[in-house]
Amino acid sequence: MAKVGFVGLGIMGTPMAGHLIDAGHTLYLYDIKPIPAELTGKGGVACATGTEVASHADIIITMVPDTPHVAAALFGENGIAAGLTAGKIVVDMSSIAPVETKEFAAKINALGCDYLDAPVSGGEVGAKAASLTIMVGGPEAAFETVKPLFEKMGKNITLVGGNGDGQTTKVANQIIVALNILAVGEALLFASKAGADPAKVRQALMGGFANSRILEVHGERMVNRTFNPGFRIELHQKDLNLALTGARQLQMSLPSTALAQQLFSSVAAHGGAALDHSALVKALELLANHTVTPDA
């Protein structure tokens, strides 16, 4: 069994760490908030700093919201880097910028340690079900060492390439997810305003070529008006900002991604930044002066 550090115990990190504890691994835990009792109650070891986590663990996982948070967790005061010794592996499972990821990897490599960027897709549901898709960038030997841990947290696990390639894949994933949410929202809104029952339309579409995981899960959210967050709009905005920033750096255009970002921004401007990203449909509803189904 491995000695694993886990830094970042939010909506995603807590169930992910829990699966590793359940599998028999020793977990050293740190978060800026109190460590969840559900983790310490089944054997997780609470630590006072990231440095303390890294000093105890051989593999250290970070799962925090954005690029600056990863930088702080790794290299800030009492950060992970200060507790590393040669031969350890740092695994960032956050969704952050590919360019900065390569810089972080170089700094960790300089300490004699390997670095994997391993962002995930699947949201809170996937984290709880241990069914996450995990997209990994980094050296193959380190990937093979960490893979048994990935298998306790996810199902579709792919070594895409070198450092930064995992994060690039996640950005691509978030483009596809956003545009699928937009498509499902437009379709159900069109059906509803035309007088059809959107729940039955969704059911019919799920039997054809238009079926998707987004139609299944987020289409149901749109019909039932259940926008409690599995993945918050503000986090998807962060991911699309990575895409649009990268597009500018590559001197290319992502027009549909830009549109989705503007619609997310509209929902956020109306107080919905913390809603589930399926609530993008609310921006479309404002434009149509119609809701898919009436709000409760």
Question: Nearest CA to 58 among 4, 116, 139?
Answer: 4
126 vs 130, 132, 156, 174, 227, CA distance in Å? 6, 5, 11, 15, 17
Active-site residue, from 33, 42, 102, 170: 170
Alpha helical stretches, state H, 23-139: 37-40, 50-56, 67-75, 98-109, 123-129
Residue found under tokens 């996982």: 61
**Helix, coil or strand: residue 235:** helix
Question: Nearest CA to 8 among 35, 44, 40, 41?
Answer: 35
Q: Is 193 annotated in the active site? A: no
The CA-based angle 27-29-34, given to 5 degrees, is 140
| Spatial separation of the C-alpha atoms in residues 285 and 150, rounded to whole Å | 39
| Spatial separation of the C-alpha atoms in residues 247 and 12, rounded to whole Å | 28
| Spatial separation of the C-alpha atoms in residues 61 and 149, rounded to whole Å | 10
**Helix, coil or strand: residue 75:** helix
Q: Which residues are catalytic?
A: 170
